[in-house]
Amino acid sequence: MLTAFARAFKTPDLRKKLLFTLGMIVLYRIGAHVPVPGVSYKNVQICMEQANSNSGLFGLVNMFSGGALLQITVFALGIMPYITASIILQLLTVVIPRLEALKKEGQSGTAKITQYTRYLTVALAILQGTGLVATARSGALFQGCPSASEIVPDQSIFITVTMVITMTAGTAAVMWLGEMITDKGIGNGMSILMFISIAASFPSALWAIKKQGSLADGWIEFGTVILVGFVMVGLVVFVEQAQRRIPVQYAKRMIGRRSYGGTSTYIPLKVNQAGVIPVIFASSLLYIPALVAQFAGGNSSWKQWIDDNLTKGDHPIYLTLYFLLIVFFAFFYVAISFNPEEVADNMKKYGGFIPGIRAGRPTAEYLSYVLNRITWPGSLYLGLIALVPTMALVGFGAGSNFPFGGTSILIIVGVGLETVKQIESQLQQRNYEGFLR
């Protein structure tokens, strides 16, 4: 693999793409450490040392921002508004006929949907930025920190508006960086930035586990976490690459004097067809009641119940709801992203059929049957992977510092595999061996 990287840098156009991608990543990491005007950087650092920076209601967004959220930097919102906007547009495409028609128009329709995604991203950034500023001003961002109320010393309207505008502009800049990487670099830009954000938190999280450990000055716990991480990566790679290949045969057709078709191929149905989307959906949905309870006044019974059961990651009710929501969203997302009837119609239109299955409705029913069968193990796998941080908390006290959590490891492995495949395809186009010999 090292020789493949050397060959990649020896190819002029591929070297330019790799260096351009690295340059955009450096800019992204610099912006993640530039504080927003009006924030007391000193008090933020004090609270970061006293509070648990990876837990609580903002843990997921903080992970996707590479730790920039709790430091209230220019890129504090990170890639999360764009992810949310993309998911919302993807769901609305199934519901709104106009968006579905745009999707079928090809490149021009996709460009319009991308433009709508940008507008929605800016709107969500304004909303989330306002919420983050309000949370920082109230002192709720770092619970239990005496300096939390002094995070924003000047609470005038001008400073508040300036902070919201700065974070919204930062989100737009992150979106631009991702699109530039997609156009002129290697891989999907948004996925690369997400990968970098999550990977940036690994060193500090591993070192925190080492410092908290008690066996041989923490080195035994440190080594155990590294070993568990390697095992998890291997298992995730195995499941992510697993697929059910449904054979498809195309009949021969004579057009003029030329013969078309007569080939055999397959439809690859992945075991984890939904990817990491169900985990993100379930986490976001469980954060809503806790977020409402946090800003609600009084000591009502429903608020107390939420505080006792839905704000603690190791509570049985929270774990059960989390697991069930992941399974539900796995089936839900697969149902809206893969249409067996549409696939069956396209196969029938081009003379394709599954051996032993009649074309048309029987093909759609067969595809739906197979998809439901393989979605069950995929959804259970997602649920178990997402519960790994809690098992780490019980096992060796790693808690929220455990870096190989479900969402993070799925994104790291998925983006890494896709990027390596793109680099390998670029090398193979130039008659090089690629990464996998």
Q: For residue 51, what is the domain's CATH number?
A: 1.10.3370.10
Residue with token string 């396209």: 346
Give me the percent of the chain exceeding a pLDDT of 90: 9
CA distance readout (Å), 240 to 17, 118, 147, 388, 415: 27, 29, 44, 17, 11
The pLDDT value recorded for residue 180 is 92
* Residue 1 in domain: yes
Q: Which is more confidently placed, 259 or 246?
A: 246
Task: Give me the DSSP letters along 154-215.
Answer: ---HHHHHHHHHHHHHHHHHHHHHHHHHHHHSSS-HHHHHHHHHHHHTHHHHHHHHHHH--G
* Residue 153 in domain: yes
Query: Over the chain, what is the mean pLDDT?
Result: 79
Residue with token string 């239990």: 144
* Residue 108 in domain: yes
Asked if the model's pLDDT at residue 5 lies above 70, the reply is no
Cβ neighbour number for residue 320 with a 10 Å cutoff: 10
Reported pTM: 0.78
Contact predicate 55/290, CB 8 Å: no
69-87 residue pLDDT tens: 778 888 888 888 888 888 8
* Residue 121 in domain: yes
* Residue 319 in domain: no
Asked if the model's pLDDT at residue 391 lies above 70, the reply is no
The pLDDT value recorded for residue 54 is 45
Q: Give the pLDDT band of residue 341 (cuts 50, 70, 90).
A: confident
How much is the CA Rg of the chain, to the nearest whole Å? 24
14-30 residue pLDDT tens: 888 888 999 999 999 89
Q: Give the pLDDT band of residue 53 (cuts 50, 70, 90).
A: very low
Task: Give me the DSSP letters along 267-294.
Answer: EEEETTTTTTHHHHHHHHHHHHHHHHHH
The pLDDT value recorded for residue 232 is 81
178-223 residue pLDDT tens: 999 988 888 888 888 888 888 887 887 777 777 776 667 778 877 8
Question: At 230, is the secondary structure helix, strand, or coil?
Answer: helix
Asked if the model's pLDDT at residue 435 lies above 80, the reply is no
The pLDDT value recorded for residue 393 is 57
* Residue 266 in domain: no
Q: Which residues contact 192 (CB under 8 A, 6 or more apart)?
A: 21, 25, 178, 181, 185, 186, 415, 419
The pLDDT value recorded for residue 344 is 86
Q: From CA 25, how far away is CA 189, in angstroms rounded?
A: 10
Asked if the model's pLDDT at residue 387 lies above 50, the reply is yes
Question: At 350, is the secondary structure helix, strand, or coil?
Answer: coil
Q: Structural domain tally of the chain?
A: 1
* Residue 110 in domain: yes
Q: Which is more confidently placed, 385 or 297?
A: 385
Domain of residue 7, residue span: 1-201
Q: Give the pLDDT band of residue 4 (cuts 50, 70, 90).
A: low
* Residue 6 in domain: yes
